[in-house]
Structure 1
Amino acid sequence: MKTPGVYIVEKNAFPNSVIEVATAVPAFIGYTEKAMHGAKSLINRPMRISAMAEFQHYFGLAPTPLFGLTEAAAADDNTVSVAAKSYQLSHDSGKNLLYYAMMLFYQNGGGPCYIVSVGSYTDEVTGEKLMAGIDLLIKEQEPTILVIPEAVLLTEDDCIAVQQAALAHCGGKMRNRVAILDIWQGYKPRQHPAGDCIDNFRDKLGINYLDFATAYYPWLNTSIVQQHELSYQNLAPAELLQQLLKQERNLPDELPKLDDNASAADQAAQLKLQQQLEAIGEISADWSKLDSAERVAKQMLLHKSLKAISPLYGQLLGQMRAMINLLPPAAAMAGIYTMVDNTRGVWKAPANVSLSAVVSPAVTISHEEQEDLNVSTQGKSVNAIRSFAGEGTLVWGARTLDGNSPDWRYINVRRTMIMLEQSIRLGTKAYVFENNNASTWATVKNVIGNFLSGIWQRGGLAGASPEDAFSVSVGLGETMTSNDILEGILRVRVMVALIRPAEFIEISFQQQMQKS
């Protein structure tokens, strides 16, 4: 100060604070109808969205499923029978799952997320492209959950390779996110003649980074696709469908001629047969010359006519819908994680929660059958999704794949620790290059302590008092040596008591003597 006068000097009264990072921002990798942001391609470019409408705007709509009909050797629950012959439906094309997974995610409470489109519906689903999509997320710090729904479309070995890459990404490279894995062919019961899908999953997955992943079984029968979204246009070949419908209705290829003296009843029956034949014949009609509105109207009218005259047609539509709606559960669980985090906090186990847009689990699991899923000698716990009378379909497990680890057995413990680590890391960046002295140590200790105290007050840490819930240590002779200070290292030790779920509740009963 060189000139006499009054000078005002402002001093900060409060240090920087630690802000809690977002805990439920999934990243989905897969194939989409398109990937455009205006004139800019979004292929292999992670894009953040916050609603299903945004997904449809940037990445398009659902794939067009095409089913084939082939003669089957024997009848079962998945065949239709006509004229003593059985026919099998097969899902030939339009199998991509990402669009339906996003629908399931938002139905179960999903919010902001990242989409990595690695190709279009015309491209073959390959493990190389999906793994390349995982690598694209290395530069993105916000995602906290990784989901790859279309890995189950690959062969079993390729699916496992993609899942191992997801584990290495979450637990090896980033360490700030977890992977939700789907069981390959998890719609089959464990007693299936082709083999136990759970044992195969456990045997092939390996043992690396299991505490950064969780898996759920079985797949889900959902209500994402409605029956009105399917029609005869999703069935091929049209000629075989026409033949089956004629056989079902006992219709001739050509109408017999009536005598001039035919009764009114015969004429009415003849007219009915003619209408049915005309409707079935229109299945293979070429309406390309009509404008789009008129074409859609005619196709809708034909669809309604076929439903009215043919129970077989309705049965085929029902089976097609059931096959499309059989979805792996990872996307639904990503939505559950988001919903539970927003309503209860990341420290609440995402279990004992009902699933929306889900009719039932694909496999019914009993109490005894869940024992091996939950507690395994290998330690690879798989969480069950079960149906309970009067309660619907519930998530009935909250373990990571590292089920034998007392530290990281529960997914909410791992995700809470990730949140604390990342929040404190970002909050203390303000003190990089500050003086490594007692003043800075006290400030850092105070900043971290205030943050953890707030988490404890919200119920995120265990303990009757802050002292029981956490401790923060920093200082020369306590966490650092003189040599650490010379090398510019400031060491802070944070200990937290994380909340674990009451997974097993034991209530003991015993008789007592009569007292009155």
Structure 2
Amino acid sequence: MLNLTAIKTPGVYIDEVPKFPPSIAAVETAIPAFIGYTEKADMLSPGDLLNTPTRIGSIADYQLYFGGAAKPVVTEVQLDLNNQFSSAKVDYQWFLYDSLRLFYANGGGDCYIVSVGLYTAGAPVQNDIQKGIDALVKYDEPTILLFPDAATLAGTALYDLQVSALKQCDELKDRVGLFDLKRNDVQGTEFRDKIGINNLKYGMAYTPWVQVALDKNILYADMVGKIKKAGVLIASLKNFTPDTNVQKVIDDLDNLAADSKKIRQEFTTLLGTDSLDSLFNKKVNKFVLSGAAADLQDVFKYLLDIANTVNTLDTAATLKNADMVTNLKNTVIALKDRYTNLINYQADLKALPTAGYTTQTFSGIATANWGGVLGAAGTANNVLTGPTEKAKILSVIPLVQNEFYAIQSTIQAGILDAASILEKAKNDALAAGFPLFKSIIAGINNTSMALPPSGSIAGIYAQVDNARGVWKAPANVSILGTPDFIYSNSELNQLNVDVVSGKSINAIRAFTGKGTLVYGARTLAGNDNEWRYVSVRRFFNMVEESTKKATLQFVFEPNDANTWVRVQAMIENFLLTLWRQGALQGATPDKAFYVAVGLGKTMTAQDILNGFMIVEIGMAAVRPAEFIILRFSHILPQA
């Protein structure tokens, strides 16, 4: 409104008087944050998304930034006496990607991904996942925390992470924890013993794991040496076909498998768990910070070590596949000019009067394909620029970076990607011409895998929220897959109602004629009359967070009746809308909720002097009909 005391000049003034209270917009309720391991974590540079919560809207978004699924390990393939696929055993280490697939398959939408490491880590680590949980403290949008990769952690590590997540939920009061049990803890005994008793109203647990059949991207190399017929290991699939063309493709795949293994071994020896560019950036950053000649020498040594790795692969008889041998020779030819420039840069550094630079030399015996480049002394071309010697030394870094990125792209295309592309093409050719191989691939893909249920449940939450509202219990809803364990009625009773500590665990059950349903709607505070149900907890989270955001505009407003009326009207309008949608129980609005604020109602004069504006909000949230009792009795005939 116009401040009348500020008017000094005669004239006509416009004053727009607000008559309506501000409104409250409901926050999103089903934005899960998936914490775990990914194939990559790249947006602008390799690894720049590690421990950085990133919002995505589809599997395509995930694949762009985080890659694909980890390749499962095929441990055994069984053929029957008729040479037909019988069964397969497949082991899994990482669950985040497949849990995300189930999230979308069950109705999920937008979510956050927190990559805490790459598949090259080998196994999940508690501290890695804890860093991912901690990273979410600064993000306001996520409303559900889940970490399926932690489900295989040994000891109490999983439960320590769950306790930490509950603590964060209690501190922020805008999210809940969606928890998995260990696969063998089907009764939840260990879970209940280790989860503690604090902040349970923010936690939900589901069991058992879910069996689903998802595409696994299995190739010939994944099953070679693991195929058995009637329990006896077979030497080669060539024994099952007289077609010489098919036999040649199998030979090519055998050679490619050996070549791919050799390439992985050589680059793992060079890089460890790093990538080409991440290790390069580490070494460059170390030099830029220190300015030490030894650190600059280490940059050039690393680049020459890359050449040595390529040279090792180029050695006669190292690679077997003819196409890969040709690719490798072409790669070396493309690298020659790059290394000529790098060796010349070293000569320029050596020529500086006080740089103290020691020339790094190639340690191997270069093949003829290098044309003598790696053993050359180099020529100083005076390409280093700058007013001081230090500036001249630093000026070599952009030059070296340009050469490195050219080297990296050449190796990626000519060696690393080439092996994968050739292998995929040969696999497609074998599947097209060899029915047995095609049936084995189909059989492995159709072999079900057990996954922690949290990803599926997060999708159910999103589906129910969108269709019915967050106040509807996410239960008695179909879920993709089949339960990994079948419970008896007495076992289900113990899951749903924990008479000792109240830690209810929601069951996933298979029903004849209905399929697999989520058949539980309780939080871990199962004996708490206020926070017993998932829908009540999440509904209160939504109302609290929505109201909090809308009320921020009143901070530092005059703490008087005018402000109190506006705040009260704003909240009442929001709750009235929710009541009309069926979120609150009561025949009339005054029976469903109340909002109170004011001097003598919720505040004393001292509260106002201290700057407090206290608003009390009461809601009769609808609760699920968990137990429906039908009472029948006889009545006497009336006529």
Structure-1-length-normalised TM-score: 0.83
Name the structure 2 match of 1:299.
427
Name the structure 2 match of 1:258.
none
After superposition, give the CA deviation of every residue in 1:200-247 in whole Å (9 maximum; x if it has no partner).
111111111111010111111113326xx3243223xx3453xx3598
Return closer, same or farther for 1:301/1:400 CA change in 2, 3 Å cut-off: same
Structure 2 residue corresponding to 1:60, chosen from 48, 58, 67: 67
Matches within 5 A, 1:244-393: 244-245=228-229, 272=242, 284-286=254-256, 287=321, 289=323, 295-303=423-431, 307-308=435-436, 313=440, 318=443, 322=447, 325-355=449-479, 358-377=480-499, 378-393=501-516
Return closer, same or farther for 1:426/1:224 CA change in 2, 3 Å cut-off: same
Query: Quick check: 1:45 aligned with 2:52?
Result: yes
Name the structure 2 match of 1:140.
139
Q: How many angstroms apart in 2 are the aligned matches of 1:333 and 1:386?
A: 13
Conserved in 1, the CA contact under 8 Å of 2:214 and 2:446?
no
In proportion to residue count, which structure has more strand? Answer: 1
Give, as a single letter, the amino acid of the residue that structure 1 aligns with 2:213: S
Structure 2 residue corresponding to 1:207, chosen from 187, 197, 203: 197
Name the structure 2 match of 1:97.
95
Return closer, same or farther for 1:79/1:379 CA change in 2, 3 Å cut-off: farther
Name the structure 1 match of 2:162.
163
Aligned residue for 1:499, secondary structure, equals coil
Moved more, 10-19 or 327-336: 10-19
Give, as a single letter, the amino acid of the residue that structure 2 aligns with 1:166: A
Conserved in 2, the CA contact under 8 Å of 1:61 and 1:99?
yes
Return closer, same or farther for 1:295/1:495 CA change in 2, 3 Å cut-off: closer
Offset of residue 515 of structure 1:
3.5
Name the structure 2 match of 1:259.
none
Query: Quick check: 1:232 aligned with 2:220?
Result: yes
Task: Give the paired residue count.
Answer: 469
Matches within 5 A, 1:433-512: 433-512=556-635
Give, as a single letter, the amino acid of the residue that structure 2 aligns with 1:139: K
Offset of residue 362 of structure 1:
1.0
Aligned residue for 1:42, secondary structure, equals coil
Q: How many angstroms apart in 2 are the aligned matches of 1:479 and 1:289?
A: 81
Offset of residue 30 of structure 1:
0.5
Q: Percent identity?
A: 41
Q: How many angstroms apart in 2 are the aligned matches of 1:423 and 1:90?
A: 49
Q: How many angstroms apart in 1 are the aligned matches of 2:478 and 2:579?
A: 27
Conserved in 2, the CA contact under 8 Å of 1:249 and 1:310?
no
Conserved in 2, the CA contact under 8 Å of 1:399 and 1:409?
yes
Name the structure 2 match of 1:74.
none
Q: How many angstroms apart in 2 are the aligned matches of 1:310 and 1:119?
A: 34
Offset of residue 307 of structure 1:
4.8
Conserved in 1, the CA contact under 8 Å of 2:71 and 2:218?
no
Q: How many angstroms apart in 2 are the aligned matches of 1:310 and 1:481?
A: 78
Larger CA Rg, structure 1 vs 2: 2
Conserved in 1, the CA contact under 8 Å of 2:51 and 2:132?
yes
Conserved in 2, the CA contact under 8 Å of 1:220 and 1:328?
yes
Offset of residue 343 of structure 1:
1.1
| Unpaired stretches in structure 1, ≥5 consecutive residues | 70-77, 191-196, 256-269
In proportion to residue count, which structure has more helix? Answer: 2
Conserved in 1, the CA contact under 8 Å of 2:103 and 2:457?
yes
Conserved in 2, the CA contact under 8 Å of 1:25 and 1:114?
yes
Offset of residue 89 of structure 1:
6.8
Offset of residue 250 of structure 1:
8.9
Q: How many angstroms apart in 2 are the aligned matches of 1:252 and 1:345?
A: 57
Conserved in 1, the CA contact under 8 Å of 2:88 and 2:447?
no
Name the structure 2 match of 1:12.
18
Offset of residue 476 of structure 1:
1.2
Q: How many angstroms apart in 1 are the aligned matches of 2:112 and 2:137?
A: 13
Name the structure 1 match of 2:126.
127
Moved more, 200-209 or 499-508: 200-209
Name the structure 2 match of 1:267.
none
Conserved in 2, the CA contact under 8 Å of 1:231 and 1:303?
no
Give, as a single letter, the amino acid of the residue that structure 1 aligns with 2:631: S
Q: How many angstroms apart in 1 are the aligned matches of 2:248 and 2:9?
A: 103
Q: How many angstroms apart in 2 are the aligned matches of 1:427 and 1:339?
A: 26
Give, as a single letter, the amino acid of the residue that structure 2 aligns with 1:289: D
Aligned residue for 1:155, secondary structure, equals coil
Aligned residue for 1:165, secondary structure, equals helix
Conserved in 1, the CA contact under 8 Å of 2:80 and 2:230?
no
Conserved in 2, the CA contact under 8 Å of 1:18 and 1:448?
yes
After superposition, give the CA deviation of every residue in 1:407-457 in whole Å (9 maximum; x if it has no partner).
100010001111111111111111111111122112211111111111111
Q: How many angstroms apart in 2 are the aligned matches of 1:382 and 1:288?
A: 58
Q: How many angstroms apart in 2 are the aligned matches of 1:247 and 1:134?
A: 46
Give, as a single letter, the amino acid of the residue that structure 1 aligns with 2:154: T
Q: How many angstroms apart in 2 are the aligned matches of 1:225 and 1:347?
A: 35
Aligned residue for 2:188, secondary structure, equals helix
Q: How many angstroms apart in 2 are the aligned matches of 1:249 and 1:2?
A: 99
Name the structure 1 match of 2:549.
426
Q: How many angstroms apart in 2 are the aligned matches of 1:208 and 1:288?
A: 63
Conserved in 2, the CA contact under 8 Å of 1:44 and 1:133?
yes
Query: Quick check: 1:176 aligned with 2:300?
Result: no
Name the structure 1 match of 2:27.
21
Query: Quick check: 1:219 aligned with 2:209?
Result: yes
Q: How many angstroms apart in 2 are the aligned matches of 1:204 and 1:464?
A: 43
Moved more, 469-478 or 151-160: 151-160
Moved more, 293-302 or 207-216: 293-302
